[in-house]
Amino acid sequence: MKVLIIEDDIQLAGALADYLELNGAECDFAYNGESGLALAQQPGIDVIILDVNMPKMNGYEVCQRLREAKMITPVLMMTAFDATDDQLEGFRSGVDDFVVKPCSMPVVWVRLQALVRRSQSARSTDRSISVGALELDLDRQVAKRNGQALKLTPIGWRILLYLSQQSPRVVPRRELELSIWDDDIEPGNLNVQLSKLRQALDKPFDTPMLRTRVSAGLQLVAPES
C-alpha cells in the first residue's frame, strides 16, 4: 500500500510514516496543500492522509480539486475539529473518512486498509484499458507498453487516458485541452505535454502510437493499425 501523507506538522507526519512502514506501507510526504495536490495526482497512490489546516491550500480545497480532476483515490482526513459541520464540509469536498487528532496509530492503519479495500471493490470490473500492446491500469494509474512501465507526468497520464478511451478516434486538439484543463490553459502547454508523452510512450519503441493528424487532431493507435 502506498500512502501519501499531506500534513504540515513534520513530527506528526514522521511518526505516522514510521508506524505505517512497520506495517508494510510505503509513504510519501507533502507539507503544504499545493505540493500535496500535485503529489496526489501522481500515479500509484493507494490512499491519502490529509490534514485540514495547512499553508497555501487547506485540506478541503485539496480534496475538492482532486475530485474535480476525476481522481478517485480514497482520502482519510485528520482534523483537530470534531464538530459535525466540519465533517460535513469534508464529506462535501470528497473526503471518504475522518479521524480526530490526537488519534490512535492502529486505528489510522485499520481505517486506511478499509478505505483501500472499499475503493478496490467499488471500482468497475473493467479496471484496465488496452490499445494494442499498451495497457492502462486504472486502479494504480500505471501505463505499460509491451510490459514496460512508462514514466508519465500526471498530465501525461490524463492525456494518455483520454486518448486511450477515445481510440482510434481522432481527437481535436481543443477537445483534448478542455478535457484536461477546462479553460485555464496557457498557449503552447499542450505541445509541451505531448512532447513529454511521446518521449515516454513512443521513443523507446520502434513504432509510434501517438499520431498527429494535420488540421484534425491527435490519435492513439495500436502499432499495427
pLDDT digits (tens, 9 = 90+) for 165-185: 888 888 888 888 877 775 566
What is the pLDDT, as a whole number, of residue 201? Answer: 95
Contacts 24+ apart (CB under 8 A), 204-208: 204/145, 204/148, 205/145, 205/146
What is the pLDDT, as a whole number, of residue 126? Answer: 53
What is the pLDDT, as a whole number, of residue 224? Answer: 59
Q: Are strands 47-51 and 217-220 parallel, antiparallel or unpaired?
A: unpaired
| Residue range 34-77, pLDDT digits in tens | 888 988 888 778 899 999 888 888 989 999 888 887 788 899 98
Q: With a threshold of 0.85, does the pTM exceed it? A: no
What is the pLDDT, as a whole number, of residue 82? Answer: 63
What is the pLDDT, as a whole number, of residue 220? Answer: 92
Tell me which residues of the chain have a pLDDT lower than 50: 124-125, 225
Max CA distance (Å), the chain: 59
What is the pLDDT, as a whole number, of residue 33? Answer: 87
What is the pLDDT, as a whole number, of residue 211? Answer: 92
Domains of the chain are 2-122 (3.40.50.2300), 153-220 (1.10.10.10)
